[in-house]
Copies of this chain bind each other. A is one copy, B any other.
Amino acid sequence: MSGRTTVQNAELALLLEVTGTPKPGNVDRRREFEDLRFEHFMAGAVGARPGLARAADGERIGHAFERAVAGMADQSAGNTQFGALLLLTPLVAAASTGELTPSDADRAVRATTVADAADFYRAFEHVDVAVDEPPAGLEPLDVRRGSDAIPAVEDRGLTLFDVMARSADVDGIAAEWTGQFGRTFDAAESILDDDGPVPARTSRAFLELLADERDTFVVTRNGPEAATEVKRRARAVRTGAEDATALAEDLVAREINPGTTADLVAGALFVALERGLVV
């Protein structure tokens, strides 16, 4: 078993995620976007660490998350790992207080408060995050308003768990928060059960998740049809009907970046490292 701490495993999970190759549509060792490059993810992971350390030290999840995002954003590309940190923060908190199990992670997110929700809104001040328009009548709670939305959150007495529950049907990370982190833990077991170098296992876990459900980041940025196409083609890769590298080249060229699925992989790598994955 490695002597790494929980925080080191969380940081390493972020680094291993971007190292996984090919991860069609994502930044990986062979592909990147002109304004979102491999090195930005390195700096994002290093910058996020102090915030993750706060979660390990038992600080409020929302505050730890906001600090992690602030540190992550200390590079020139803006948002690299916002969703991954939203997933990792409660997992780090759970790992630091007891066992890293679905029920402990569930307990951690259900214990969040209105103050955590306010922190979450503050985190949007640090980076631009692609999100949907809020439903009619919920404009005051639009995350893009950042801190300006906090009075509306407080008026309604919404905890961070409540905020996540409201977008669980359109956001894959929120769905993890309200679903006992089911896909994250399942993907961790896939990675542990697999063999070979970790970046290859990471690529396979990514494709498995991508074939399993539409990526909500692609739905938001590129539309539902693009997300359905990506899911269908990821399935084709798994059956051997399509080549993963060719799919990767095509998606990057079209700027279709399944970022939520990458975030899930980062969470899964963290769980796998905590459970003894050898690098």
Q: Mark A residues whose CB is within 8 Å of B.
A: 2-4, 8, 11-12, 15-16, 19, 29-30, 37-40, 42-43, 45-47, 49, 71, 74-76, 197-199, 278-279
Q: Say how far A49's CB is from chain B's closest CB, in angstroms.
A: 7
Among B29, B39, B49, B197, contact of A8 (Cβ-Cβ < 8 Å): B49
Residue of B nearest to A15 (CB): B42
Q: Say how far A131's CB is from chain B's closest CB, in angstroms.
A: 26
Would B199 and A38 count as touching, CB distance under 8 A? yes
Asked whether A46 and B8 contact (CB < 8 A) given A2-B74, A39-B279, A279-B75, the answer is: yes
Would A279 and B76 count as touching, CB distance under 8 A? yes
Among B4, B46, B199, B278, contact of A15 (Cβ-Cβ < 8 Å): B46
Q: Say how far A50's CB is from chain B's closest CB, in angstroms.
A: 8
The docked-state distance in angstroms from the alpha carbon of A198 to that of B77 is 13
A29: chain B residues within 8 A (beta carbon): 29-30, 38
Among B11, B16, B71, B197, contact of A3 (Cβ-Cβ < 8 Å): B71
Among B4, B12, B19, B46, contact of A12 (Cβ-Cβ < 8 Å): B46
Q: Say how far A107's CB is from chain B's closest CB, in angstroms.
A: 28
**How many monomers of this protein are in the complex?**
2
Interface of A is mostly: helix
The docked-state distance in angstroms from the alpha carbon of A45 to that of B40 is 16
Among B11, B43, B76, B197, contact of A39 (Cβ-Cβ < 8 Å): B197
Q: Say how far A30's CB is from chain B's closest CB, in angstroms.
A: 7
Would B11 and A38 count as touching, CB distance under 8 A? no
A75: chain B residues within 8 A (beta carbon): 2, 279
The docked-state distance in angstroms from the alpha carbon of A197 to that of B12 is 23
The docked-state distance in angstroms from the alpha carbon of A47 to that of B39 is 19
Seed contacts A15-B42, A76-B278; 9 additional CB < 8 Å A-B pairs: A4-B74, A8-B46, A8-B49, A12-B42, A15-B45, A37-B199, A38-B199, A39-B199, A43-B279
Asked whether A8 and B47 contact (CB < 8 A) given A30-B29, A74-B2, the answer is: yes
The docked-state distance in angstroms from the alpha carbon of A259 to that of B279 is 21
A8: chain B residues within 8 A (beta carbon): 46-47, 49
The docked-state distance in angstroms from the alpha carbon of A75 to that of B3 is 10
The docked-state distance in angstroms from the alpha carbon of A42 to that of B9 is 11
Q: Say how far A10's CB is from chain B's closest CB, in angstroms.
A: 10
Q: Say how far A191's CB is from chain B's closest CB, in angstroms.
A: 13
Asked whether A38 and B12 contact (CB < 8 A) given A4-B46, A71-B3, the answer is: no
